[in-house]
Amino acid sequence: MHIGMLSPISWCTPPEHYGPWEWVVSMLTEGLVESGVKVTLFATGNSHTGAKLRWVCPNPYSEDPNIDPKVWESLHISSVFEHADEFDLIHNHFDFLPLSYSKLVNTPMLTTIHGFSSPKILPVYRKYNNTTHYVSISYADRSPDLDYLANIYHGIPVGDYPFSNREGEYLLALGRIHGDKGVHEAIQVARKGGMPLRIAGIIQDKAYYDHWVAPYVDGVHVVYMGIVSNEKKKELLKGAYALLHMINFDEPFGLTVIEAMATGTPVIAVRRGSMPEVMADGETGWLVSNVEEAVEKLISIKSISRTQCRNWVISHFSSDRMVNEYICAYKEVLSV
């Protein structure tokens, strides 16, 4: 079995800091290689992999202003399909655009839908619904208009995450700084709960940060740490009292939630999107509806077993489980 793995090029694979789609592609690719599956990874030229790497775009367009996203996305995607006859299957992680190439080649394609940026992209998915194969990353993120081969949750290498059974000293908001992610709401929870808050992540919406976040950042009670490395991120997660995931949108999955639980840190999250699937309410944290409920649950975090949090991730969200489920999905596509 030879898989052509199509990664995004907004960031390198794996990303140095932010880049959830690229990170999932990397974990899957390396796991497949370790399992004996032949993989050719299409990613940026500065990516790192144990698979064969093919690239046309030297650097991620989110880091290099000289790279026009539309131009290099077109070159990147076309490169995969120009080599399509070399693969038994193309695994697309590049959203809807590669679907428009899929009927031009004989190689079957499986697309992991990492979330719908807008209902406006659904016509593309609907058009190719009967000729390609879709995998969802949570049941909550499925469209009723589409058929799915499987639901495969993301997985992480749990052993790479340091575990702490000690109660943390601060609340943590981790991820992109955007209204969707509820950073302002996390600040309100921390302020009303009388606990310090650390914020880490890329500023995706500068206006949002300037208006809703920056006025509260004082370097003592609310600290913005900027973009942190993967190792620093793990240490922040391990040392937190709880991760606050006060989202204002229907979260497709939520990698930071399982990362937090892997270190033993419980999560307080708004009950939207995939959160009831990713968390065990009352066992690995608490699902809430608003800031007031989150504040009320702060004291109850003490009743959550940090060991149970880690065991939940080991049981449900390991990278080995993810890899094995994708191998089964590939075999099912190829048996048709």
Helix (H) or strand (E) holding 275: helix 275-278
Concatenated DSSP letters of 153-207: ---B-GGGS----SPPSEEEEES-BSGGGTHHHHHHHHHHHT--EEEES-BS-HH
Report the length, in residues, of the chain. 336
**Predicted confidence (pLDDT) at residue 317 exceeds the cutoff of 70:** yes
Mean pLDDT across the chain, nearest whole number?
95
- Each residue of 247-273: pLDDT tens digit? 999 999 999 999 999 999 999 999 999
| 309: pLDDT strictly greater than 70 | yes
pLDDT band at 336 (very low <50, low <70, confident <90, very high): low
Q: How far apart are the C-alpha atoms of 182 and 168, rounded to whole Å?
A: 21
20-34 helix and 319-335 helix, angle to the nearest 10 degrees: 80
Cα end-to-end distance, the chain, whole Å: 15
- The structural domains of the chain, with segments of one domain joined by +, span 2-155+318-335, 158-316
Task: Give tens-digit pLDDT for 151-198.
Answer: 999 999 999 999 999 999 999 999 999 999 999 999 999 999 999 999
DSSP designation for 85:
G
pLDDT of residue 18: 80
pLDDT at 261: 97
Asked if 278 and 247 touch (Cβ cutoff 8 Å), the reply is: no
Q: How far apart are CA 292 and CA 331, in angstroms?
A: 48
85 by Cβ neighbours in 10 Å (0-12 / 13-18 / 19+) ranks as exposed
Rounded CA-CA distance 334/328 in Å is 10
- Whether 2-155+318-335 and 158-316 share one fold: the answer is yes
Q: Which of 254, 262, 268 is nearest to 303 (CA)?
A: 268
- pLDDT given for residue 230 in this prediction: 87
CATH class of this structure's domain 2-155+318-335:
alpha beta
Establish how many alpha carbons lie within 13 A of residue 230's alpha carbon, considering only the half-sphere containing its beta carbon: 14
28 pLDDT higher than 70: yes
Assess whether the previous peptide bond of 144 is cis (omega < 30° from 0).
no
CATH class of 158-316: alpha beta
Q: Percent of the chain, pLDDT > 90?
A: 94
Residues 291-298 have a mean pLDDT of 96
pLDDT one-digit tens code per residue, 117-162: 888 999 999 999 999 999 999 999 999 999 999 999 999 999 999 9
pLDDT at residue number 176: 92
What are the pLDDT digits (tens) for 82-95? 999 999 999 999 99
The DSSP 8-state label assigned to residue 318 in this structure reads B
pLDDT recorded at residue 287:
98
| pTM for this predicted structure | 0.92
